[in-house]
Structure 1
Amino acid sequence: MTLLRVATVQAAPAFLDLEAGVAKTVRLIEEAAQRGAKLIAFPECWLPGYPWWVWLDSPAWGMQFVQRYHQNSPRADGPEMDTIRRAAREHGIVVVLGYTERDAGTLYIAQQLIDAEGRLIAARRKLKATHVERTVFGEGDGSDLKVHDTAIGRLGALCCWEHLNPLNKYIMYSQHEQIHVGAWPSFSVYEGAAYALSPALNTALSQVYAAEGQCFVLASCGIVSPEMFELLCDTPQKRQLLKVGGGAAMIFGPDGSPLCEPLPPDQEGLLIADIDLSLIALAKAAADPVGHYSRPDVVRVVFNPHSPQRVTRVAARKDLLDTEAEDTGS
């Protein structure tokens, strides 16, 4: 498949409400499919929303949200994911879902790639939570930097500032990615005080990813809703730190060109584009950083794609047990 229609989401989550979030996810999947899309991309931590409180006050103040956030974060194999996979199958659409994964006592910034038959392609975790995110989330490993063969092309995904790490990006490029989903939470925190968190800078990261990797990039983006703002911003100071809106979703071509019109930063909706994977060859002809435009004799990346084992169980040897028993006289 070289010609296909794709959709990326700009919307506010059903904040801290997993049931409502799943229902909204299914509605957006249905809408994208009705508009002819074969792929839909959701923002970072779409279920149950991004934990903005970590940017607004002390960890002690933020503890009021911890239990509710944990309880409303789905498991990778939970019933909520089954519902979303059924929707993907019913509507014949590939889904890349950003969510907060609950794995026993630890939360992870995660994404699931689901094919048009409702089957799980991959479940991945953000390699390294960013700055204050590390007070909430664990981290992934090398197995999470992977591009997958699918019916619509070679598909990969990263979250937020994973796009700021050049080595992350090069590992993804080296797997000949054709369609990339970049999941973002919203760009409305510290407005005017931290340019690195602005929509201008972070949209540029998605655009550069497309041009560097010569791939199509679906940059999905969340929104801070008025309801979220009222819940989180209980002082004048917090009302200065976080703003309503912050949406900046976009779709880019393999030459970095925008392929659709942006939505206003406080408006929910789907951004739709028709893409032609054969155009990647034109971009690769100019510059392929993992092919003819590379110099592996000068610069190479060392990459460990395996998941580390936290616990190693070693079977006891009978001869050692016998020796120990003799030494103790037992």
Structure 2
Amino acid sequence: MPDATLNVAICQAAPVPLHIDSGIDKAVGLAKAAIADGAQLVAFGETFLGGYPLWLDEAPGAALWDHPGSKAMHRILMGQAVVTGDERLAPLQALCDDHDAMISIGAHERVRSSLYNNQLLLRPNQRPLDHRKLVPTHGERLIWMRGDGSTLGVHDAGKAKVGNLICWEHWMPLARAAMHNLQESVHIAAWPTVRDTYAIASRHYAFEGRCFVLAAGLVQTKAELIEGIERCGGDADADALALAHEIEAETINRGGSMIIAPDARILAEAGEGEETIHAELDLSESDAAKASLDTDGHYSRPDIFTLDVNTAPQQGVRWDD
């Protein structure tokens, strides 16, 4: 019989805020260690490359119009963000190519003059699969553009189909329905912290989709954000640092990552600190679980409900020759 197992890992770690090169170096080390321990799929949390923008929720002045600190942070993010075909990602891609592995990692991505929250799925000998967050949550709209349907997709790894959603996308019922239709067997749910409600959403997704879920969180502190600003240097430092110092809490993102089976049971769970968790997935569980529930099949009513998904890129401007 063909091998129906997949070894997976979540690297729950502190990003290097803002400074992308240092973040990639850290991710390479963590992913290399996880792969050496047998992982065929390695997941990192939301915007691991660049770090989650803590100031949006935690600094009282961040949303004020023309705030110098928010503008300084945005300037740093724009200068640091990854771009399509970014050569800085080559060491991560090489790990995938050399070890027939996959790496799911979040990043701030720049497209023209806008930023996106992109959960990249790097896979062997192919370009990364993008997933740009469809709706930035609440204050995140101050920095991130909305993604479109062109980045709703899965990677067919042969024995598994692997996809990503980010944070509160897991409360978008139609996005979940679209992903279930793509027949995911392994899903990465990227979060800043896997708090109680986020764990519920991740376990619900596993049960509803009859798939394995890697709920990947970060560990992140105010001190690390300040250090990241200082690493970037430049004339944005003073205003950006002033905004960071407005944050009252010392530790903001607290991990809580977990690996979940298609029946919603927890296979592995992390604490609040930096650690890598592993699990061996029996992919046949996904098919077995569909005996009682297939939300895209025998538990759907296509005569009543239909879903149309627009997968065309929304460029805004079209240039005709």
Instruction: With the length of structure 2 as denominator, give the TM-score of the two structures.
Output: 0.87
1:280 to partner: Cα distance: 0.9
SS of residue matched to 1:259: strand
Normalization by structure 1: what TM-score? 0.85
SS of 2:28's equivalent in the other structure is helix
Contact kept? 2:11, 2:42, Cα under 8 Å:
yes
- Pairwise mapping of residues 125-204 of structure 1 onto structure 2 (< 5 A)? 125-186=132-193, 199-204=195-200
CA contact (8 A) 2:153 2:182 kept: yes
Provide structure 2 residue ranges, at least 5 long, that are not aligned to the other structure.
227-240
Give the corresponding residue for 1:29: 31
Match of residue 239 from structure 1: 248
Amino-acid identity (%): 33
Counterpart of 1:269, as a letter, is E
Is residue 2:209 matched to residue 1:221?
A: no
Q: Which residue of 2 aligns with 1:46?
A: 48
Whichever of the two has the greater Rg, that structure is 1
* Partners of 2:169 and 2:175 within 8 A in 1: yes
Does the Cα contact within 8 Å between 2:9 and 2:42 map onto a contact in 1? yes
1:275 aligned residue: 281
Does the residue aligned with 1:30 lie in a helix, a strand or coil?
Answer: helix
Contact 1:186-1:224 within 8 A present in 2 as well: no
1:114 counterpart letter in structure 2? L
Which one has more relative contact order, counting CA pairs under 8 Å at least 6 apart?
2
Counterpart in the other structure of 1:71: 79
Rounded to whole Å, the distance in 2 between the matches of 1:210 and 1:12 is: 26
1:65-100 Cα offsets, whole Å, 9 max, x none, are 122222221112111122210122233321112111
Taking a change above 3 Å as real, the CA distance of residues 281 and 183 of structure 1, as seen in their structure-2 partners, is same
Match of 2:295 in 1: 289
Q: CA offset at residue 244 of structure 1?
A: 4.1
- Structure 1 residues without counterparts, runs of 5 or longer: 188-198, 316-330
Distance 1:229 1:311, change over 3 A: closer
Structure 1 stretch displaced more, 224-233 or 1-10: 224-233
Whichever residue aligns with residue 120 of structure 1, its letter is: R
Task: List, as ranges, runs of 4+ consecutive aligned residues in structure 1 with deviation greater than 4 Å.
Answer: 229-233
Q: Distance in 2 between matches of 1:176 and 1:210?
A: 12
Equivalent-residue separation in structure 2 for 1:226 and 1:305 (angstroms): 38
Helix, strand or coil at the partner of 2:131: strand
Change (3 A) 1:212 1:27: same
Distance across 2 between alignment mates of 1:136 and 1:305: 24
Partners of 1:314 and 1:77 in 2: CA distance: 25
Residue equivalent to 1:15? 17
2:16–2:224 contact (8 Å) kept in structure 1: no
